[in-house]
Structure 1
Amino acid sequence: MSERAEPADYSDDGTAVPPVPLTGDSAALLLSPRLAQFAAVARAQHVTRAAAELGVPQPTLSRSLARLEADLGVQLLTRHGRRVRLTSSGRTLLAHAERSLLHAERAGRAVREDADPHSGRIAFGFPHTLGPSTVPDLLREFSARYPRIRFQLMQDYGAALLSRLRTGELDLTLISPPPDAPDVTVRRVHRQPLRIVVPAGHPLAGRKRVRLAEVRDDAFVSLPAGYGLRQITERLCAEAGFAPRITFEGEEVETLRGLVAAGLGVALLPAPAVPRPGVVELAADGPGVVREIALIWVNGHRAPAPVEEFRRFLLARRDRLLSG
């Protein structure tokens, strides 16, 4: 190739059109497809050999390199017989190009691995209250079948999980109560009974079943406003004819049980994985004292193979969980 690069383009009358300065996104768009070509020529030190390796005609490759030099406004290569050598600017660009190409290769490999139904990655969300046993049990069973699939787990409250799903941070999430949102698919997968949790010395502690209205005069401890279990507590209490007087809030269910054990209130909670001393878990008398848990995903989004496999796995257990 010549010592000086040719202009990047020509107008209809054959006059040279000055190259457009490379800034911001325009630089990325113009440089990206040419970096691999430039790197191939730099490694081969020969345009014809590089063209053969890339599977493109030699004139096409020469023109692409000339346009690259014109767009950048520097000379990248010098010809010495049939071989080419890098200029100082060429060596600088090659160092950056090789790093960029390595990152692109790794990104492509990661995407291919994520799409592999047997060794991909799943971003899965769920409320804190499902962390102690429900989710670990499901993951243990699934991972026994697909040991090479990796999980990125995120715990948060309902509104935050829904937001992360919409932004693409999550592939799937469990949520309670199920949202009424047109942009997501909702499939109810679990109906979890709730317990009325009272201190061991509470007047109702000797009973096995109580009505929610029987603790209407007690102080309540609960999760903060915005959490799904808090919404369910307020709704069920309203259906029982009262508004709960919430005196303490905590972000973890076991913290709430500790507050109950300390005599600071009662709570409406799912059954614990391990019984906690100092509290009594009472069955709630009457229908509907449960929380429904749904699996949701964004509409119109084609899920990678491992995500689809995990979704089928969870939905296959829906009948068993809903009847439990």
Structure 2
Amino acid sequence: MSMNFDLADLRAFVAVAEMNSFRAAATALHLSQPAISRRIEKLEAALGIRLFERTTRRIALTAVGRDFSHKARTLLDDLENSLLSMREVAASQTGEVVIACVPSAAYYFLPKVLTEYHKQYPRIRVRIIDDSANGVLASVTRGEAEFGINITGNQEPDIDFQGILTESFVVACRRDHPLASRSTVSWAEIGQYDYMTVDRSSGNRLLLDLALAHTSVNLAWCYEAKHVSTLIGLVEAGLGIAVVPRLSMPADGHPTLISVPLTDPSVKRMVGLVRRRGRELTPSALHLYQLIESTWPRRVK
């Protein structure tokens, strides 16, 4: 006999049995009455028994149905108690998770993930090592961080790199800047304005230099900083424009800053989760790893 039914079918059966009404059960479960009927029929077909006697005026449990209703109610109660117990265990877990990340990949997005993680595991502390791409790799390789969020690592023999999103570089400028009203901006046009960039130790700078290596674009910068977040602050202060990853910018609607798509050439980067090959994550770190993996968008324009 094939047991082709699921928990939703059991819940429908218990609701009908307790309320003695398909209509009342449908209302309680926010389903249509035909949907409830199909679930009961599916359950009866899977068990090979009739659970209800139906007439035009009323329904009643069969003898087998009455016995099964007690077993089904007990099963659902046990499952609910088990899930509640698991949630209580999760909430009571303590400890610390150490992750490393490039600031530009986490400045605006990671807080949302950490907020959700804290709701699920309020007693677990998260320590963040914000560093350059090379620094993130070093922290993960040395075991200082359990895993990292990085833009490099897929060529490292001792590192597992799992890409989680592709994002474009954009022009960051103030809303009162001449480029703010443009639909796109080319690299050649950037040279007409005060340009700021991250220094050569940055993985983002390496990606941009590689993208421009085979072009005639040769930009002179007026300000250079170590971190993208510093550049964005300088842009907001009105010192110039910068080319930064899209995710490092505030969400649309920021009162001062705006992102303009970059062309000729357009430049993209892959952001990924990095972990030391062959090393198992602790349960707390694994939960955070999986939450980041499932929450990040796969592509950011």
> Into which bin does the TM-score normalised by the smaller protein fall?
0.5 to 0.7
Describe the shift of the 1:239–1:175 C-alpha distance in structure 2 as closer, same or farther (beyond 3 A): farther
Match of 1:314 in 2: 292
Counterpart of 1:227 (choices 180, 196, 202) is 202
User: Does structure 2 conserve the Cα–Cα contact (< 8 Å) formed by 1:200 and 1:261?
Assistant: no
Give the stretch that moved more between structures: 296-305 or 146-155: 146-155
Match of 1:269 in 2: 244
Deviation at 1:307, TM superposition (A): 1.8
**AA of the residue aligned to 1:157:** S
Match of 2:78 in 1: none
- Per the normalisation by structure 2, the TM-score is 0.59
Describe the shift of the 1:261–1:145 C-alpha distance in structure 2 as closer, same or farther (beyond 3 A): closer
Deviation at 1:215, TM superposition (A): 1.8
**Which structure 1 segments of 5+ residues have no match?**
1-115
Describe the shift of the 1:235–1:217 C-alpha distance in structure 2 as closer, same or farther (beyond 3 A): farther
**Which structure 2 segments of 5+ residues have no match?**
1-90
Deviation at 1:184, TM superposition (A): 0.3
Match of 1:251 in 2: 226
Alignment of 1:144-163 (within 5 A): 144-163=119-138
Deviation at 1:261, TM superposition (A): 5.0
Match status 1:133 vs 2:111: no
Question: Bigger radius of gyration, 1 or 2?
Answer: 1
Alpha-carbon distance in 1 for matches of 2:283, 2:194:
48
Alpha-carbon distance in 2 for matches of 1:197, 1:323:
16
Q: RMSD between aligned alpha carbons?
A: 3.0
- Per the normalisation by structure 1, the TM-score is 0.55
Deviation at 1:248, TM superposition (A): 1.3
Deviation at 1:276, TM superposition (A): 6.1
Match of 1:215 in 2: 190
User: Does structure 2 conserve the Cα–Cα contact (< 8 Å) formed by 1:117 and 1:306?
Assistant: no
Query: Secondary structure in 2 aligned to 1:222?
Result: strand
Query: Secondary structure in 1 aligned to 2:213?
Result: helix
User: Does structure 1 conserve the Cα–Cα contact (< 8 Å) formed by 2:104 and 2:229?
Assistant: no
Deviations 1:129-165 (A, max 9, x none): 2343211111112222232322111111111111111
Counterpart of 1:296 (choices 274, 290, 297) is 274
Deviations 1:6-43 (A, max 9, x none): xxxxxxxxxxxxxxxxxxxxxxxxxxxxxxxxxxxxxx
Deviation at 1:237, TM superposition (A): 3.1
Describe the shift of the 1:260–1:322 C-alpha distance in structure 2 as closer, same or farther (beyond 3 A): closer
Counterpart of 2:262 (choices 260, 279, 284) is 284
Deviations 1:93-124 (A, max 9, x none): xxxxxxxxxxxxxxxxxxxxxxx994342111
Describe the shift of the 1:201–1:323 C-alpha distance in structure 2 as closer, same or farther (beyond 3 A): closer
Alignment of 1:38-117 (within 5 A): none
Alpha-carbon distance in 1 for matches of 2:103, 2:287:
24
Match of 1:28 in 2: none
Deviation at 1:250, TM superposition (A): 1.7
User: Does structure 2 conserve the Cα–Cα contact (< 8 Å) formed by 1:237 and 1:244?
Assistant: no
**AA of the residue aligned to 1:235:** L
**AA of the residue aligned to 2:131:** D
Alignment of 1:175-214 (within 5 A): 175-198=150-173, 202-214=177-189
User: Does structure 1 conserve the Cα–Cα contact (< 8 Å) formed by 2:170 and 2:244?
Assistant: yes
Say how many residue pairs are matched: 208
Match of 1:168 in 2: 143
Query: Secondary structure in 2 aligned to 1:190?
Result: strand
Query: Secondary structure in 2 aligned to 1:193?
Result: strand
Describe the shift of the 1:322–1:227 C-alpha distance in structure 2 as closer, same or farther (beyond 3 A): same
Describe the shift of the 1:199–1:312 C-alpha distance in structure 2 as closer, same or farther (beyond 3 A): closer
